[in-house]
Chains A and B, each alone.
Chain A
Amino acid sequence: MSINYIYPEFEVVRNPNRCICCRVCERQCANEVHRFDADGKVMLSDESKCVNCQRCVSLCPTRALKIIKSDCVLRENANWQNQTIKEIYKQAESGGVLLSSMGNPNPLPVYFDKILINASQVTNPSIDPLREPMETKVFLGKKPNKIERDKDGNFINNLPPQIELSMPVMFSAMSYGSISYNAHKSLALAAQKLGILYNTGEGGLHEDFYVYGDNTIVQVASGRFGVHENYLQAGKAIEIKMGQGAKPGIGGHLPGTKIVGDVSKTRMIPEGSDAISPAPHHDIYSIEDLRQLVYSLKEATAYKKPVIVKVAAVHNIAAIASGIARSGADVIAIDGFRGGTGAAPTRVRDNVGIPIELALAAVDKRLRDEGIRNNVSLVVGGSIRSAADVVKSIALGADACYIATAALLALGCHLCRTCQTGKCNWGIATQNPELVKRLNPEIGSQRLINLMTAWKHEIKEMMGGMGINSIETLRGNRLMLRGIGLNEKELEILGISHAGQ
C-alpha cells in the first residue's frame, strides 16, 4: 500500500547541543530508529519505528534524548477517537486480528484506588514495625477442619502440604519463551533469596533451573508443553492454568520463530513449530473433570505438592471458585482483567473479564458463606501495583498476591507494550541472544529483591498503623477498608463501608 494512513505515534527529540554522537542509541535500538550520518556528523532518527521503550533515553550518557507523544492528531471526535480510527486503518491494511501486549491500558475503574486503609488512633495502639516483631509469613494450602488425636491423645498430623512464603507475594506465571532465559533466572534467583515462589508458566522448566525447584511453581496448561514426571516433581507446587486475566476464554500462541534452541527442548516440541495452547483443556469440561486432573497430578507427586488452579476473573467467578474449592485443589489463583500478557488479541484483552478487586471480594464471601473457605487458599493477581494493593487484597480476603508486571518493571520493562514483536530492547520478552544478554540476572535479581524488600517494609508499616502485627489477622478483615466514591452496589460486592461510616 502506497499511502501511509498512520502518522508515527512518537517523536524522537534529540537536543543537538547535548548529543555527543557516541551512538549508544543506535547500538541499543533493536528497532533501528537511530543512525549516524557520517557526512553531517549527526545522529538521525526514524520515529516511525519507535515503540517508546526508552532504552535509548535511559542509556544516553548526556540526556540528549527524549521520546514524546506526537501531537499530530486527527480531527477530534468523542465517538471516533484517534486510537479507534488508527486501529481501523491497521485492520483495513492487514486484514488481521489486532495484537497487544501487557495489561489492559484503558481508563476503566481501578477499585484499589477507591479503597482506603484504616489506622489506629487513641483508642487502640498502633505498632512500630521497627521496634516490635511483625509477621508477614503465610502458608498456602488446604487447612484441616479440626484437630485430630490418636487414642493416646497425641496429635495426628492431618495437615495437607503447604507452601510457605516469607511475605504474601509471588511472581506469577511467565513462560520461558515468552520471556527470556535471563529474565527467568532473575526471577528464580530472587524468589530463592526472598523465600517466595516464582512460576514457570506454560513453557516447561529449563534444566538449569531445577536447582531452584523449592521456589518454583510448575504450571500445567492446556498445551501441556514441557510437562513430564520430573518436571512435576521438581516444583514446590503445581498450577493448573485454566485461564489468564489478559485473555480469558482463549488459548495461547507462541510463534515458531521463538521456538528455538533451549525453548524448543524445554517445551518438548520441534524447533520452529508454533506452540499453540488450546482455549480449553480438552480433558476438562466440568468440575468433575478438573477434579480428575487435580488428583492425577497429586497421584503423580505422591500427594506431596499442593495443586493450584488458576482462573481468569469472569462473570460467575464466585460459583466457579466454589466448584474449584470442591475439586480437591489446594489453592485458587484468580487473575483480574488488567493482568499482563506477552501477546493477546486487543479486543479480548480490553473487553473481556472483570476487575480482580470485585472478583476477590465475591469469591471470598461465597466460600465463607458456603463454609469451604478453609478448603483453599486464595491468590490474586492482575495488576497488583504496590504494597498498598497487596494490603488491600489481603484485607479483602486474599492469602497472597501474584505479581508479574511489577516484577518486569523492576527488570527494566518500560511498558511499551510491544512484547509480541520479540524485539524487547530490555532483554526480557525476546529470544534474540544479542538482546537477551542485556539483562544480567545478577542485576535483575537484585532489583527484584530490592523491590520486594521495599514492599515488605511498606506492608509492615501499614499493618502496624492498623495495630495489626500478623498478616493472618489482616486477612479478610474488611473492617480495615473503606470505599470512596463508590456506589451502594459496588460497596455491597466489595463488602466494605463507605469512608465516613
Chain B
Amino acid sequence: MKKIYVNEKWCLGCHLCEYNCAFANSGETDMVKALKDKEISPRIHVEEDGKITYAVSCRHCEDPVCVKSCISGALSKKDGVVTIDKNKCVGCFTCVLVCPYGAVIPTDKHAAIKCELCLKNACGYPACVKGCPNKAIVYEER
C-alpha cells in the first residue's frame, strides 16, 4: 500500500508540510482564514537537530501499538491505514505515550489526532506531499 515516506536528503526544514497539513485538516477553503493567528496542530512534524531536518508522521505500522493501547476502541486499522474515531476517543492519550514516532498528537479538544493520509479530508491526497517544494515527502508504494 502507498505510504508517506520522507527523504532526509531533500528535506529543507521549511516546515511547509506542517502548515499544509494543518490547513488540509482545518475544513476551511482559505489558508489565511484557517491558520492566521492560530496555534496549529499539524499531524506531521519536522524534527530538527542542527542542520539535520526530517519530517515525521504516522508510519501506519504493521502492528500498531497505538491501536493495541487504545482503551476505547477509537483507534483502528482499516485497509492498512491507522485511523482514529474522534467520537470514541476519550482523551486518555495512552496512544500519544506509546507511539515510538511521536506521531499521535494530543489536542485540547479531548481527542488525539494523527495522520490519516488526508483520506478523510477534502484534500484527498496527502497535503504534505503535494506541497513539499523539494519532493522530500513522497507518497508511494515501497
CB atoms of A22 and B15 under 8 A apart: yes
> Contacts A20-B35, A443-B134 known; A437 to B15 CB distance under 8 Å?
no
CA distance in complex: A20, B19 (Å) = 9
CA distance in complex: A61, B37 (Å) = 15
Contact segment of B6-14, B63-71, B72-80: B6-14
CA distance in complex: A450, B1 (Å) = 30
Contact of B15 among A17, A23, A434, A438 (CB under 8 A): A23
CB atoms of B15 and A20 under 8 A apart: no
CB distance from A30 to the nearest CB of B (A): 12
> Contacts A18-B32, A438-B134, A440-B134 known; A24 to B51 CB distance under 8 Å?
no
Interfacial chain B residues near A434, Cβ < 8 Å: 51
CB atoms of B32 and A440 under 8 A apart: no
CA distance in complex: A92, B20 (Å) = 48
CB atoms of A27 and B19 under 8 A apart: no
CB atoms of B14 and A24 under 8 A apart: yes
CB distance from A365 to the nearest CB of B (A): 48
CB distance from B130 to the nearest CB of A (A): 12
> Contacts A440-B135, A443-B135 known; A61 to B19 CB distance under 8 Å?
yes
Interfacial chain B residues near A62, Cβ < 8 Å: 31-32
Q: Is B109 an interface residue (CB 8 A)?
A: no
CB distance from A448 to the nearest CB of B (A): 15
Q: Is A37 an interface residue (CB 8 A)?
A: no
Interfacial chain A residues near B18, Cβ < 8 Å: 22
CA distance in complex: A62, B135 (Å) = 20
Interfacial chain A residues near B14, Cβ < 8 Å: 24, 27-28, 59
Interfacial chain A residues near B51, Cβ < 8 Å: 433-434
Q: Is A299 an interface residue (CB 8 A)?
A: no
Interface size range on A against B: 20 to 34
> B residues 1-29 with Cβ under 8 Å of A?
9-10, 12-16, 18-20, 23
CB atoms of A59 and B135 under 8 A apart: no
> Contacts A22-B15, A434-B51 known; A61 to B10 CB distance under 8 Å?
no
CB atoms of B12 and A28 under 8 A apart: yes
Interfacial chain A residues near B15, Cβ < 8 Å: 22-24, 27
CB atoms of B36 and A20 under 8 A apart: yes
CB-based nearest A residue for B138: A442
CB distance from A167 to the nearest CB of B (A): 27
CB-based nearest A residue for B46: A27
CB distance from B121 to the nearest CB of A (A): 17
CB atoms of A27 and B35 under 8 A apart: no
Contact of B12 among A19, A23, A64, A437 (CB under 8 A): A437
CA distance in complex: A173, B23 (Å) = 44
> Contacts A18-B32, A438-B134, A443-B134 known; A61 to B9 CB distance under 8 Å?
no
Q: Is B131 an interface residue (CB 8 A)?
A: yes
CA distance in complex: A27, B48 (Å) = 13
CB atoms of B16 and A59 under 8 A apart: yes
Contact of B16 among A18, A19, A61, A64 (CB under 8 A): A61
CB-based nearest B residue for A15: B32
CB distance from B71 to the nearest CB of A (A): 36
CB atoms of A437 and B9 under 8 A apart: yes
CB-based nearest B residue for A23: B15
CB distance from A444 to the nearest CB of B (A): 10
CB atoms of A61 and B131 under 8 A apart: yes
* B interface footprint on A417-433 (CB within 8 Å = 1, 0 otherwise): 00000000000000001
CB distance from B36 to the nearest CB of A (A): 5
Interfacial chain A residues near B10, Cβ < 8 Å: 437, 440
Contact of A438 among B12, B20, B36 (CB under 8 A): B12
* B interface footprint on A18-42 (CB within 8 Å = 1, 0 otherwise): 1110111001100000000000010
CA distance in complex: A17, B30 (Å) = 13
Interfacial chain A residues near B19, Cβ < 8 Å: 20, 22, 24, 61
CB-based nearest A residue for B132: A440
Q: Is B100 an interface residue (CB 8 A)?
A: no
Q: List the interface of chain B (C-beta within 8 A of A).
A: 9-10, 12-16, 18-20, 23, 31-32, 35-37, 51, 131, 133-136
Q: List the interface of chain A (C-beta within 8 A of B).
A: 17-20, 22-24, 27-28, 41, 59, 61-62, 64, 433-434, 437-438, 440, 442-443
List 7 tightest A-B contacts by C-beta distance, closest first. A20-B35, A22-B19, A440-B134, A440-B10, A20-B36, A24-B14, A62-B32
Inter-chain pairs besides A19-B36, A61-B31, A64-B32, 13 sampled, C-beta below 8 Å:
A18-B32, A20-B36, A22-B15, A22-B18, A27-B14, A59-B16, A61-B16, A61-B19, A61-B23, A434-B51, A437-B12, A442-B135, A443-B134
Q: What are 12 pairs between A and B in contact, CB < 8 Å?
A: A20-B35, A27-B14, A27-B15, A28-B14, A59-B14, A62-B32, A434-B51, A437-B10, A438-B12, A440-B136, A443-B134, A443-B135
